[in-house]
A and B are shown apart, each in its own frame.
Chain A
Amino acid sequence: MNEQHLFSITALFDTPDEIIHAAEEADKAGYTRFDVNTPYPVHGMDRAMRLKPSRLGVFALVFGLLGAFGGVAFMTWVTLVDYPLVIGGKPFWSWPAFVPIAFEVTVILASVLTVITMIVLYLKFPNNAHPLHDTLYMKRVSSDKFGITIQADDPKFDEREVRAFLGKMGGKDIAPIYFDVEELNHRQKLFNPKFFSVLAATAFVVSATTYVVFNKVLYMEPFSWMSTQEKLKAQRPSELFKDGIGMRPPVEGTVARGFLPYAFKGKPDEAGKDLVNPLLPTKEVLERGKSQYLTYCSPCHGNFARGDSRLQGQFPNPPTLHSDKVRNWPDGNIYHVLTEGQNIMPSYTSQISREDRWAIVHYIRVLQRAHNAKESDLK
């Protein structure tokens, strides 16, 4: 059964001044259940209607504070507890860096949550039926007119009086608004399956279309940020070379910059004759030689070069370095053995640098001297 009830009498005005005047007069005449609709917020209307300040401001403050403190608390947790990172040598808890983020979170929480609060508390979501909706009056006031509506449930309401009152103030298009009880009381179900399936379908279609259009059909890379480059990467195959290997060995005979190849390959005697130890037996050089000797030479030759290491008897015995042969060798010969190896001893070029090899030579001379100390050394 459709039953029509009178909701209110409305009137339209042309200027904000007139509507403020009308609101003040309606208040003075003793009406309490009246409202004003304007195309944009008219400042001073609250005062004219003698409305109490809205409580939404309190909500905004609470949400804003929640955002500020929540943001700072989260960043504090991240930087101090969850994932402390040193950034630019600054303390973990660097408040200046938090300010912009705390500000943004404050603004976003305050605005979004306040709007949601307004929709839920004041617009009574999900029920959005109101007698003024879908009326000519609402169309006019959301375009360029300023309207006042005096409701029928006002204790002072009397249709003829209200019409006369509005007319006296210069209101135009004075018209009644009716409502249908059933329609007004019809509450939308919050979880309407039809609504939600349409919503889900829309979401799916929109995201799928967007995905296909932007990732497949119209795919463009505005900035690659150099993530793809026309070059070969290490350990990757190549189609350019016949053997299919991307990493190329240097051309035969390539010499590294500032580095000459060893000139006495297989010529120990020439090495002994022509090579001179470029290092002076300073304290640092001897220290270096000692540490290198103990690392690389001592496992076989022993800590004191006597050839008495733990390997004795398990390998062909490593010789002592205190033999007359070695003692009488020039430095170049020892260096040559370190470089090329001898008998079972391998080359040490890949483990010990040139300088360190020379330092070891010095250290071996120290050991030999210590082993065959002269009387004069004790003085």
Chain B
Amino acid sequence: MTSPAPDLGVRKEFSEKVKRLAWILLIVGVLLYGAGYLIDAKRSAFNNAIGFLFLASVASGSIFLVALEYLAGAVWSVPMRRVNEFLGGLVAVVPFLAIPLLYHLHDLFHWSHVEASAGDTLLTGKAPYLNVNFFIIRFVAVFLLWNLFYFLFTRNSTKQDSTRDPRLTTINARLGAAFMPVFAITVTLTAVDWAMSLEPHWYSTILGVYYFSGTVLAALAAATYTVIKFHENGYLPNLRRDHFYSLGALMFAFINFWAYIAFSQFLLIWYANLPEETFWFMKRWKDGWEYVSILLIVVHFVVPYFALLTQDSKMDLKRLKLMAIWILFAHLLDMYWLVMPTYGNGIPFGWMEIGFPILLVGLVLVVLSYKVKHNNLVPVGDPKLERGLSFRL
């Protein structure tokens, strides 16, 4: 049985190089962000929505993974839980990404034009839900809830580092149980508000689950990449092949889950063949978007499926790292595919579309470097840590 290394879980600092890179990316991203809004506010707003949905995925998905670990009493993931907690810390930052959007609601959302929806039976019917005030209330409520649960989970987890009180694990397990329905509703609201209401006439009851599948996948990929990077740089030295294999297997499972849900959504709409539902897919199957749709299937399902199919590939750190980055890119493409057809004008791709991901990467790195500096990298007080470290498949 491996005994924890003496320096296990000590706060570390990123190397100067990484920190400098983080700030450069963040500043370049912010500059591009600002420039984009000055030049073409509408297009920037759509890009902003993509970036917002993407990062909200990573942040809320990470909290979900933390809650799931506590709720299921999982042992294997305990040594890596802090990485999920760090990434979950993004929930405090993500709402700021949405603030510019709140000033450009009219560019994004057709329903926000009261005069346009006045003569529209469908939009008049949906007006009690789709109106600016209620929209902002939901947005604030969703992020308050996420931040509240993030705060409670991490406060108990951090307190345990010094008190080593096993009761805190029980409390967090109960919190996890409370978080599950909250997460189910809030993630659905996020998908409905920011993705579905872009086409206010369209509806798909499965879109919340669709966004959820991508959310968990993105959070897993972000965690996998970070864990492996930490491991390679000696921040998490005690992890073994079995841990990485489990991460890879979970990613593989959610790749399939995403494909399953995505196809279910398509199949139901194709079967029912109702014009108010099918136009959404028609839009994504003409004017060049059909190539983006096919690309999405290949990038989001076919490639990662075969890349992570074999047992060996899930234990190969290089492959896992590549696939984690690949899946994050696939999730970004997924969000692009969800949002951009509403913007119209063909398939917009230029420096504005690249500027946002740069900002996101910089933001994640800055948040991570802050978290790593102020928190233990391993929950040293967790009663399951010892078993988690000696985890065997």
A interface residues, Cβ below 8 angstroms from B: 16-17, 42-44, 88-90, 96-97, 99-100
CB pair A16 B267 closer than 8 Å? no
Given contacts A42-B392, A43-B393, A88-B271, 12 further A-B contacts (CB under 8 A): A16-B392, A17-B392, A43-B242, A43-B392, A44-B393, A88-B273, A89-B273, A90-B273, A96-B266, A96-B267, A96-B270, A99-B263
Q: How far is the CA of A89 from the CA of B275 in the complex (A)?
A: 14
Q: How far is the CA of A44 from the CA of B271 in the complex (A)?
A: 46
Task: Say whether B245 faces chain A, with CB atoms less than 8 Å apart.
Answer: yes
Q: How far is the CA of A88 from the CA of B268 in the complex (A)?
A: 13
Could you jot down 6 A-B contacts, CB within 8 Å?
A43-B245, A44-B241, A44-B393, A96-B271, A97-B271, A99-B263
Which residues of B lie under 8 Å from residue A99 when comparing CB positions? Answer: 263, 267
Q: Is the interface of B mostly helix, strand, loop or mixed?
A: helix
Q: How far is the CA of A90 from the CA of B269 in the complex (A)?
A: 13
Which residues of A lie under 8 Å from residue B241 when comparing CB positions? Answer: 44
Please give me the residue from chain B that is nearest to A43 by CB atom: B393
Which residues of A lie under 8 Å from residue B263 when comparing CB positions? Answer: 99
Q: How far is the CA of A97 from the CA of B270 in the complex (A)?
A: 9
Instruction: Report B290 CB to chain A, min CB distance, Å.
Output: 15
- The proximity string for B residues 227-249 relative to A, scoring 1 for CB distances below 8 Å and 0 otherwise, is 00000000000000110010000
Please give me the residue from chain B that is nearest to A100 by CB atom: B267
Which residues of B lie under 8 Å from residue A96 when comparing CB positions? Answer: 266-267, 270-271
Instruction: Report A145 CB to chain B, min CB distance, Å.
Output: 16
Which residues of B lie under 8 Å from residue A44 when comparing CB positions? Answer: 241, 393
Q: How far is the CA of A88 from the CA of B269 in the complex (A)?
A: 13
Please give me the residue from chain A that is nearest to B392 by CB atom: A16
Which residues of A lie under 8 Å from residue B271 when comparing CB positions? Answer: 88, 96-97
- The proximity string for B residues 272-315 relative to A, scoring 1 for CB distances below 8 Å and 0 otherwise, is 01000000000000000000000000000000000000000000
Q: How far is the CA of A99 from the CA of B245 in the complex (A)?
A: 30
Which residues of B lie under 8 Å from residue A97 when comparing CB positions? Answer: 267, 271
Instruction: Report A71 CB to chain B, min CB distance, Å.
Output: 16
The 9 closest A-B pairs by CB, nearest first: A43-B393, A96-B270, A16-B392, A96-B267, A88-B273, A99-B263, A17-B392, A96-B266, A43-B242
Which residues of A lie under 8 Å from residue B245 when comparing CB positions? Answer: 43
Q: How far is the CA of A379 from the CA of B9 in the complex (A)?
A: 114
Instruction: Report B110 CB to chain A, min CB distance, Å.
Output: 29
Which residues of A lie under 8 Å from residue B266 when comparing CB positions? Answer: 96
Which residues of B lie under 8 Å from residue A90 when comparing CB positions? Answer: 273
Q: How far is the CA of A96 from the CA of B271 in the complex (A)?
A: 9
Residue of A16, A42, A44, A88 most packed against chain B (CB within 10 A): A44
Q: How far is the CA of A356 from the CA of B241 in the complex (A)?
A: 89
Which residues of B lie under 8 Å from residue A16 when comparing CB positions? Answer: 392
Q: How far is the CA of A99 from the CA of B267 in the complex (A)?
A: 9
Residue of A89, A96, A97, A99 most packed against chain B (CB within 10 A): A96
Q: How far is the CA of A8 from the CA of B273 in the complex (A)?
A: 67
Which residues of B lie under 8 Å from residue A42 when comparing CB positions? Answer: 392-393
Please give me the residue from chain B that is nearest to A87 by CB atom: B271
